[in-house]
Amino acid sequence: MMEQTRDSIADIWGDRTPHYGDWPVRVDQRVTTEPDHWVQSACVLCSNGCGLEIGVKDGCIVGVRGLDRDPVNHGRLGPKGLHGWEANHSPDRLTKPLIRRDGKLEEASWEEAMNLIVERSRDIIQKHTSLAMGFYTSGQLFLEEYYTLAVLGKAGLSTPHMDGNTRLCTATAAAALKQSFGTDGQPGSYIDLDTTETILHVGHNIASQHTVLWMRILDRLAGPNPPKLIVIDPRRTFTAEKAHIHLMPRVGTNVPVMNGLLNLVIESGQIDQSFIDAHTVGFDELKKTVANWTPERVEELTGVPASQLRAAAQLLATTSTLVSSALQGVYQSMQATAAAVQVNNLHLIRGLIGRPGCGIYQMNGQPTAQNTRETGADGDMPAFRNSGNPEHMNQLARIWNVDVRNIPHWSPPTHAMQIWRYAEQGSIKFLWINATNPAVSMPDLARVRQILQKEGLFVIVQDAFMTETARYADVVLPAAIWGEKTGCMTNVDRTVHLTQKAIEPPGEAKADLDIFVDYARRMDFRDKDGAPLIKWTTAEEAFAAWRECTRGRPCDYTGMTYEKLRRGGIQWPCNEEHPDGTSHLYTDGVFHTGADDCEAYGYDMTTGGAITPEEYKANDPKGRAIIWAADYEPPHEQPDQDYPLWLTTGRLVYHFHTRTKTGRSAALAKAAPDSFVQISDQDAQAYNIADGDLIEVESRRGRVLEPARIGDIEPGLVFIPFHFGYWDDPKRSRAANELTLTEWDPVSKQPHFKYAAVRIRKATEVDKDALVLDQAGQRVNAGSTTPKTTE
Amino acid sequence: MHIGNYLSLVQQSEQQLSRAFSQVADHHGDEPDIYQVCQTLSDWSRQHTTELQPLVDRYRSDKSDEPERLSQTLFDKPRTGGLALLRDLHDLYLLATEVELCWVVLLQAARGLRDQELESRCETFDKTTKRQLTWLMTRIKQAAPQTLIVAD
């Protein structure tokens, strides 16, 4: 029996339920057989966080259905949510720990694997201090797991080298929110979409990336009072097709486009001067900077026609409510934080913040990216505390009952790109990677592979599958995934969901929380009184500890319990004052920018230089939002004679991350089985390339071979989806990140995936085998005395 | 008057700083942030040098004979490697401090002379130099523990 309420593969967003104000319920369901019972959870295949129930029969997941009462999705699910669960029962799950012996990964017991990890940890710390220890985590674990990792890393090991792959995905969202409003956290709520007059998507292909959120917009567009839609994106995406105005800027020119819009809005006189005066600082500098960006100058630099820019600005200047969203087209491109901050500025100068219909979604790509940031597993300090504020650090020391000097806070935490650089240079000798796949997701993959194989670097990979990265590990730990463990996740609009264990993990696989707790116990981390540092063993106990850590902070969870979360998602802050959660922040126009309150003192937008506490206090914004101006800076690598085209990368609607899960669902894999390179008709003609021809794309860092897909893109621009690696097809070079740059935004430290100079040619030879073996991680590590192989 | 002396001192110092930033960019190209930011900051100093020229010309006659003086030789030969990076940033900081101090000195003189052009230039340039110093301090703080404690 196969029962599905709709074919989400053929019809991605399903039938319309037109609305204004109150989004109707539509429960999407797909089960392969009738479940015995349902277990409440939420989807972990994008950052929307749709409430759902897992159907279980005989200890197996047999399907899912949307949760009708959930505030985020009102019962709807997208193709990834309806199909991704099949990965849980994939036959190639890791079920036993593996240890590399004589170059080969061999099965081992948990006792052996953990003893080895502890022995190496102790040895390295003794010889090199804990500054030789690094952790690279995910945007896919649960809050309780990140918090445990943060405590054991910061207060147990005392290492500043801890970050997550959220650095690749949404570090800029956090940076932009901190720069403008003092701390992380979205000002608005998804319900703003139900009433807003105008929607602005900047570098956000929401139709592919957040399918259920897009359904909400489609239903508004089909409803009685449709919003106007403005899309800024260099590609003609599903999202752009629905736009009233689609601006197609050249790669790397988000700041000039935003400055041009801000200039026109200010010139129109439709700004909210009283809001600006009472609730912001920095407006005059912005006005001065954007004044130079006339529509004509913007057109010349970005390719966006002046008339279109004027039309968009006219809408933005007159709308009484506005929802804006930004994502990777902003975050992974030149001047990432500067551009994201201009979106915040647009709302600030028009006073469109802190009330219904006025949301800013500095979006996340991964489902639990927000939790990595909140808990400090990405290097930030837990509960948005400021590492430069001694009182905040003392609070943490009190909560954990440790000496404050044990908590590394002498400089900003080490960001992921720097962690990998230290590993490359040899000063990080221990790298624990969990639930992520840097051998496909990081920029400049040839370099990442070299680092992973480096002698003297002990690599642990904790995952559910033998990923491209796990092939290089010294120890592989089999992890339980969604559906096999309990924990919370917080989505973009601050809604916290409880996702519950429905089935047992396969074989000896364990929850990440259990692995971290076990490590902390074996390392014998203790507090000042000699009690164990990690005082919890279950997810619910970890949640209780986290709740205490958030008390009084902007992300206050103290009013939440598992019991309450079983009734449905709750938006933080949730405390005695707001027992049902909070839909809008900053309703009183007071922001978290006070010197005693703010999460960071801010960074120079061009250099990333950190503003000192003294400087910040001298100009304390005392609760006023900070308007940051930014002028244009050209991308660091531009097309030239040798590499005449721009490369950009992005997502497909059927896949998530490096397809570790979605590639193992039959329907999703069939819907998007392979990578491709998208080029314009003009370029196809110029290079004599027909649809489906194999093209070689080469940058200064590497090359790939991809079948051509022609159309819907500007001439001179080449697009490759980033999901595809080698585990299911080691025969062709196809990971987009073979080509991308090791460079990052100065403020958010997020890598620049959205531009690189490349050249293309029709592939004619078949001399690719050696290259592919290397890229797929199947070649013996040449020159090493202890080669790392998996076969 | 000795204003001309100081203007040529700051101009030389800015030239030197610009070259030094550019050298550090070249010799630490494996550190993408160092490479990118140092190029930008080198441009800032070069721009100062150019924009300063009218003032240097104006006060040229007010230049006294200069002692074989304060010419900086901190930045001699480029170095590579982890400790070298820290030392290079350290020296860049000292060079930038020299420039910053020049602005303070000149600003005082400008105020005394009520030379509004000189005053406003000094104020503007001083802001840029401070941004260079801020970045250098941030990067030095980041590099210091790892370099001194763990790096080979």
Give the CATH number of the domain where residue B98 resides. Answer: 1.20.1260.10
Residue type, A24: P
Residues 83-122 of B with CB under 8 A from A: none
Minimum CA–CA partner of A608 in chain B: B135
d(CA B70, CA B97): 13
pLDDT digits (tens, 9 = 90+) for A93-130: 999 999 999 999 999 999 999 999 999 999 999 999 99
Rounded to whole angstroms, what are the CA distances from A368 to A177, A492, A624? 17, 9, 29
- Is A132 in CB contact (< 8 Å) with chain B? yes
Q: What's the pLDDT at A787?
A: 38
Please report how the helices A512-523 and A143-151 are oriented relative to each other, as an axis angle in degrees rounded to 10.
20
Rounded to whole angstroms, what are the CA distances from A318 to A312, A322, A358, B52? 10, 10, 14, 44
C-alpha B101: how far from chain center: 10
Quick one: A120 exposed, middle or buried, by C-beta within 10 A (0-12, 13-18, 19+)? middle
Q: How far is A161 from chain B (nearest CA, A)?
A: 10
Say if the Cβ atoms of A129 and B33 lie within 8 Å. no
Q: How far is B67 from chain A (nearest CA, A)?
A: 36
pLDDT digits (tens, 9 = 90+) for B83-109: 889 999 999 999 999 999 999 999 999
Say if the Cβ atoms of A742 and B32 lie within 8 Å. yes
Q: For the sheet with A104-107, list strands across it.
A: A104-107, A98-101, A475-478, A458-463, A430-434, A133-137, A162-164
**DSSP reduced 3-state for A105:** strand
Cβ distance A607 to B135 under 8 Å?
yes
Q: What's the pLDDT at B61?
A: 75
Say if the Cβ atoms of B31 and A607 lie within 8 Å. no
Quick one: A413 exposed, middle or buried, by C-beta within 10 A (0-12, 13-18, 19+)? buried
d(CA A748, CA A339): 12
The size of the A-B interface in CB pairs under 8 A is 74
Say if the Cβ atoms of A417 and B32 lie within 8 Å. yes
Q: How far is B40 from chain A (nearest CA, A)?
A: 8
Kind of pairing, strands A245-247 and A280-281? unpaired
Q: What's the pLDDT at A365?
A: 87
- Is A295 in CB contact (< 8 Å) with chain B? no
Helix (H) or strand (E) holding A314: helix A306-318
Mutate: best of B146, B147, B152, partner A, most A CBs <10 A: B146
d(CA A143, CA A109): 28
Minimum CA–CA partner of A414 in chain B: B142
**Residue A524 neighbours by CB distance under 10 Å:** 11
Say if the Cβ atoms of A129 and B150 lie within 8 Å. yes
d(CA A481, CA B79): 48
Residues 428-447 of A with CB under 8 A from B: 428
A chain contacts of residue B138, beta-carbon cutoff 8 Å: 411-412, 608-610
Residue type, A604: D
**DSSP reduced 3-state for A553:** coil
Q: What's the pLDDT at A698?
A: 96
- Is B68 in CB contact (< 8 Å) with chain A? no
Helix (H) or strand (E) holding B128: helix B116-145
Q: Give me the residue from B32, B82, B131 closest to A609, CB to CB.
A: B131
- Is B29 in CB contact (< 8 Å) with chain A? no
Helix (H) or strand (E) holding A296: helix A295-302
Query: Dihedral of CA A298/A301/A306/A312: which sign?
Result: negative
Backbone angles phi, psi at A37, to 5 degrees: -155, 165
Cβ distance A632 to A259 under 8 Å?
yes
Spans in chain A with pLDDT lower than 50 = 780-791
Q: For the sheet with A360-362, list strands across it.
A: A245-247, A228-232, A198-202, A322-326, A360-362
Backbone angles phi, psi at A279, to 5 degrees: -125, 5
Q: What's the pLDDT at A766?
A: 59
Cβ distance A661 to A51 under 8 Å?
no
- Is B40 in CB contact (< 8 Å) with chain A? yes
Split at pLDDT 50, 70, 90, the class of B81 is confident
Quick one: A22 exposed, middle or buried, by C-beta within 10 A (0-12, 13-18, 19+)? exposed
Residues 6+ apart with CB under 8 A from A128: A427, A429, B149, B150
Q: How far is A327 from chain B (nearest CA, A)?
A: 23
User: How many domains is chain B partitioned into structurally?
Assistant: 1
Q: How far is A291 from chain B (nearest CA, A)?
A: 19
Domain that holds residue B62: 3-149
Rounded to whole angstroms, what are the CA distances from A587 to A5, A173, A354? 40, 21, 4
Helices vs. strands in chain B: H and E counts, helices first: 4, 0
pLDDT digits (tens, 9 = 90+) for B52-79: 999 988 888 766 665 545 445 556 666 7
Q: Give me the residue from A131, A422, A606 closest to B40, CB to CB.
A: A606
Cβ distance B147 to B86 under 8 Å?
yes
Minimum CA–CA partner of A615 in chain B: B134
Q: What's the pLDDT at A788?
A: 44
Q: How far is B3 from chain A (nearest CA, A)?
A: 30
Residues 44-73 of A with CB under 8 A from B: none
- Let me know how long chain B is: 152
Rounded to whole angstroms, what are the CA distances from A694 to A685, A710, A739, A756, A771? 15, 12, 17, 20, 16
Say if the Cβ atoms of A606 and B131 lie within 8 Å. yes
d(CA B115, CA B106): 11
A chain contacts of residue B149, beta-carbon cutoff 8 Å: 128-129, 131
d(CA B18, CA A160): 33
Question: Taking Cα atoms as reference points, which of A242, A220, A238, A219 lies closest to residue A229?
Answer: A242
Say if the Cβ atoms of B36 and A743 lie within 8 Å. yes
Question: What 8-state DSSP symbol labels residue A156?
Answer: I
Any bridge partners for residue A475, and if so which?
Answer: A99, A460
d(CA A233, CA A373): 27
Q: How far is A173 from chain B (nearest CA, A)?
A: 20
Residue type, A495: T
Q: How far is A6 from chain B (nearest CA, A)?
A: 48
d(CA A411, CA A45): 34
Q: Residue A390: CA atoms inside 13 Å, Cβ hemisphere, count?
A: 3
Q: Give me the residue from B31, B36, B134 closest to A604, CB to CB.
A: B134
- Is B41 in CB contact (< 8 Å) with chain A? yes
- Is B134 in CB contact (< 8 Å) with chain A? yes
Helix (H) or strand (E) holding A104: strand A104-107
d(CA B47, CA A5): 65
A chain contacts of residue B130, beta-carbon cutoff 8 Å: none
d(CA B86, CA A443): 26
Q: Give me the residue from A425, A609, A743 closest to B32, CB to CB.
A: A743
